[in-house]
Chain A
Amino acid sequence: MMAALQTEGLVKRYGALLVTDHVSLDIRPGELHAVIGPNGAGKTTLINQLSGELQPNEGRVHFDGHDVSALSVDQRARAGLLRSYQITSIFEEFSVLENAVLAALAAKRHAWRFWRPMLDDSAARPAAQEAIAAAGLSAQAGVAAGELAYGQRRQLELAMALAAQPKFLLLDEPMAGMSVQESTAVTELLRGLKRRYTILLVEHDMDAVFSLADRITVLVYGRAMFTGTPDEIREHPEVRAVYLGEETV
């Protein structure tokens, strides 16, 4: 299931500081759209406005044909707009499987049940196991999340977003803190998700971004400076000057 996401002139101010500067995005169904930019460009703030954790001062967010600007985080999640966090945010006491099944529960509307074990849920459990497999964590299903290695925790971040029946994935630096090997593995993981979900990927890892993205938006000082295909971005003189510098990608 793939949905589109558009924003209309999003503005976010902290006092006199303009963190999001009239950002209008247009993310097409099924595409993998990357957002890149130097540190401090306001990428996480932007994602927080898309997921509902932050209210913009101006502008609207349209998801799957509906104006979701007034919807809360959980409402957007139930509508299919799921995110993963840059700083891992999981349920440390629960096992990998339990984390994923919990994520699947809401999508299946099975959370308000008070007797039979959650792991017996015939709808949520398979969905969770599929998500875990897609994220490459099947071998760790029984391990407590708190005991996972760092890279595995990032994978669980991803698995939870997948388990919740997303139409749209907001991925906030899924490869943060990973080694080259781990990043490569996750890149292939994400490639496998393309065309199954619409994905907005915020990342610093340029190899991954240029390898995966259908289109890229460059964010500088809160402004969406340029949107284009990886080739167009590579060649764009302003982008090279501001962000890529002398490096060839």
Chain B
Amino acid sequence: MTTLNLTRPATALPLLLFAGLAAVPFIAGALGQPFWTSFFARILIYAIAATALNLALGYGGLVSFGHALFLGLGSYAVALPAFHGVDSGWVHLALCLLVCGVGALAIGAISLRTSGMAFIMITLAFAQMGYFLLVSLKQYGGDDGLPVSATSRFGPLNLGSPLVLYGAAWGVLALATWWMARLRRAPFGMALRGARQNARRINAIGLQAQRLQLAAFVISGALCGVAGLLLANLNAFASPSSMAWTVSGELIVMVVLGGIGTVFGPLIGAVAFLGLEEVLKGMTEHWMAIFGPLIVLMALVGRHGIIGLLDRLGAWKRARAEVAPALSEGHA
């Protein structure tokens, strides 16, 4: 059983954040500000997408610049059946997992034949392909997107209701995060992280680096698709713009900003990114002219992300705590 060290800021803060996020709908309801529920629901959804990407990117070392594709496919897995009158959430979910899983399998299998730069470019290209494909489907809205005429119904629960959606998003994120924590130390996760460090060695001990990476890519794509499914229900809308290449870039920024390869990094990254975006938007409509250079700075300065900072803060505090008594007694 993984023990949680609650004295570490890097663990305590995210858990507090989870608790706080759970309280949001109730606070928002009490204050009569439903906007906050959908605002934080969006953060939760992108945190799920970032968590999915973190598996491929952080654990697996696969720089996928096309994960927005799965967000889009997940959204359309709701909108298309709904367009044809099917509102069963189970159908939406099954379709979402199937399409995203198979899509990730195909794209991953082809992309993993290359590595490094080529992999990045190819995932970007495939996402763009998906974007153009959906835009060209005029009968399903094309460029304008497709309204979701019937949100996902799971028995008595309907994701069209803001509270249900929020609960579902929080639940999925919590479960996914927990699994990522377990997976990190589990055989598959360790083998995957080994493949990132030294693929040649992984093959030499009898595992198959490519197969591990492909499996991670498929799981990652499927989970990202689930985020897309939730997004479509949140917005009651599915749009090709959710698959724009810029969204893929933003997901990468979230993962790195939070702390690449860490368990809580994606959540922290999503909160920080979308929070900062909101703050900057409030200041100027040209917020991207500020955000862009900030991202450049982040890339230059080095990347252990916010979790990395919290880790160092925790280590510094511990070191101080050890030195302080000695100092107070005079020279150590």
Contact = CB atoms under 8 A, between A and B. Distances in A.
Chains A and B bind each other:
yes
B326 interface: no
Contacts of A92: 197-198
Given A92-B197, A98-B190, A112-B188, A78 B183 contact: no
Contacts of A53: 200
How extensive is the interface on chain A, given as a class? 35 or more
Interface string A41-75: 00000000001010000000000000000001110
A73 B203 contact: yes
B208 interface: yes
Interface string B112-146: 00000000000000000000000000000000000
Contacts of B106: none
Given A102-B190, A105-B191, A117-B2, A72 B185 contact: no
Interface residues of B, number: 26
Interface in B280-302: none
B201 interface: yes
Contacts of B190: 94, 98, 101-102, 105, 118
Interface in A84-102: 85, 89-94, 98, 101-102
Given A91-B198, A92-B197, A93-B197, A77 B185 contact: no
B187 A164 contact: no
Interface string B188-207: 11110110011011111111
A173 to B, nearest CB: 15
B207 A114 contact: no
A107 interface: yes
A89 B187 contact: no
B186 interface: yes
Given A73-B203, A83-B204, A164-B206, A116 B186 contact: yes
Contact of A89 (B179, B182, B191, B198): B198
A89 B206 contact: no
A119 interface: yes
B201 A106 contact: no
A74 B206 contact: yes
A114 B183 contact: yes
A82 interface: yes
Of B189, B198, B204, B207, the most chain A CB neighbours within 10 A belong to B204
Contacts of A74: 202-204, 206-208
B207 A106 contact: yes
A114 B188 contact: yes
B204 A89 contact: yes
B207 A89 contact: no
Given A91-B194, A117-B185, A111 B207 contact: yes
Of B183, B189, B202, B212, the most chain A CB neighbours within 10 A belong to B202
B181 to A, nearest CB: 11
Contacts of A91: 194, 197-198, 201
A201 B60 CA distance: 34
B310 to A, nearest CB: 19
A171 interface: no
Interface string A211-243: 000000000000000000000000000000000
B96 to A, nearest CB: 20
A117 B185 CA distance: 5
Contacts of B215: 112
A77 B207 CA distance: 8
Contacts of B201: 89-91, 160
A90 B201 CA distance: 7
Nearest to A160: B205
27 contacts: A73-B203, A74-B208, A78-B206, A82-B204, A85-B204, A91-B197, A91-B198, A91-B201, A92-B198, A93-B193, A93-B197, A102-B194, A103-B205, A105-B207, A111-B187, A111-B188, A111-B191, A112-B188, A113-B186, A114-B183, A114-B186, A114-B187, A115-B182, A116-B182, A117-B2, A117-B186, A118-B185
6 tightest Cβ-Cβ pairs between the two chains A and B = A106-B206, A77-B206, A78-B206, A117-B185, A113-B187, A103-B205
Interface of A: 51, 53, 72-74, 77-78, 82-83, 85, 89-94, 98, 101-103, 105-107, 110-119, 121, 160, 163-164
Given A77-B206, A114-B188, A118-B190, 14 more contacts: A51-B204, A53-B200, A74-B206, A77-B203, A92-B197, A94-B197, A102-B190, A102-B191, A103-B205, A105-B191, A106-B206, A114-B182, A115-B183, A164-B205
